[in-house]
Amino acid sequence: MQGTRSRWGSTRRLSAMLAVTALTAATVAGGETCTTQSAMAPADRDALAAAARNMAQRVEANDAAGLRALTIAAYANDFGAIQNLVASTSAKVKGATPVVEQIYLLDATDLKKPTDGADKFNGSAQFLCTLNKSIAEADFSIPGLPAGKYGFAIVEARGIAAPWRLSFLLQQVQGQWQMAGFYPRPMTAAGRDGLWYWTEARTMAKNKEQWNAWLYYQQAEALLNPANMIQSTHLEKLHNEQTAVAPPAISSGVSADTPLVVKGANGAEYHFTGLGVDDSLAKDKVDVTARLKVDDVGDPVAARKRNTDAASALVAAYPELRKGFYGVWIFAEAPGQNPYATEMAMNEIH
């Protein structure tokens, strides 16, 4: 099976644990404040929740035009990427019931305006939310945010086989809440939730399965993280556990600058610039994904053989992967060319 994939992205880190915790308000230096739903005035809470629910219903109905009408001008004027995201998400949440799980009021009306005449703040707006009056925190960090009043809402699409979170950043414009960001994410992979992957990762770590554990921590974070704009105490703990179990070969990470180099049976070296997990085939286990650096993708026959050889080399070097994953995706990537992607089940890799 082959193909290529892309994603429409956003800002910096967020925790799924926030969705189940009642919060209080906190203020940070610079004037930004975070008020959580338990501390909001009922009118503010109801208005923000109603706006988020309405947006989620439009996503479920694939009503991109209706959602665009509820979107701030900066995004409504260039809506193509969001429209595609709405269409793909709608297919995943068709027939679901939207439930507003958690909301936050993010007040940046006193954010210092730039001195160079620019419309946006050049740094990152910081919002600190304290959980249950404890030392635990969730910190929103939103770069380039103009001064104003914002909300963040987590809406769960329930009642379907594979539930999703539809998270929204909202901005108050002339008294009305409008969409300023959309972050849809699945809540399960291969039929299991993030806490299951976190627990399995810990078990794998105890069993000295460092590669499986490191990748399962990655899957856990992907499922427990509604959007990439908050760092939380809970996800920081998960990240620390993942870092502690990282195999020595990737202790400095895996990137174009620090690739994972694996030698194949024929002596060829394969330079992997990224390792991750994928659930697009909806099997009983997730797949490993590996990004392979190549100088030229080449013709399909040669590219498929190279991908097959690369998958074989990866699994031969780290055989524990056979236990934890259904198969391996290889994405061969060359500068200025479309990636060439193949997927092989573990029983097809020799």
pLDDT digits (tens, 9 = 90+) for 161-175: 999 999 999 999 999
pTM: 0.85
Distance from C-alpha of 346 to C-alpha of 332, rounded to nearest angstrom: 19
188 closest CA partner among 164, 204, 171, 205: 164
What whole-number distance in Å separates Cα of residue 16 and Cα of residue 261?
Answer: 34
The Cα–Cα gap between 201 and 204 comes to 5
Name the residue with higher pLDDT: 125 or 263: 263
| Tens-digit pLDDT profile for residues 295-324 | 999 999 999 999 999 999 999 999 999 999
DSSP state of 71: B
Q: For the chain, what is the mean pLDDT?
A: 87
State the Cα–Cα distance between residues 34 and 103, nearest whole angstrom. 10
For residue 104, what are the β-bridge partners? 36, 152
Whether the CA torsion 7, 8, 9, 14 is positive or negative: it is negative
Locate tokens 């963040």: which residue? 152
Q: What is the enclosing helix (H) or strand (E) of 184?
A: strand 176-186
Return the axis-axis angle of helices 194-206 and 210-224, rounded to nearest 10°.
Answer: 160
pLDDT tens string 77-96 = 999 999 999 999 999 999 99
Single-letter code of the amino acid located at 291 = R
Q: Is it the case that residue 18 has pLDDT exceeding 60?
A: no
Q: Find tokens 């908050």 and name the residue.
A: 230
31-83 per-position pLDDT tens digit:
688 888 888 899 999 999 999 999 999 999 999 999 999 999 999 999 999 99
Cα-based distances in Å from 324 to 96, 198, 284? 30, 13, 11
132 pLDDT band, cuts 50/70/90, is: low
Check: CB of residue 178 under 8 Å from CB of residue 170.
yes
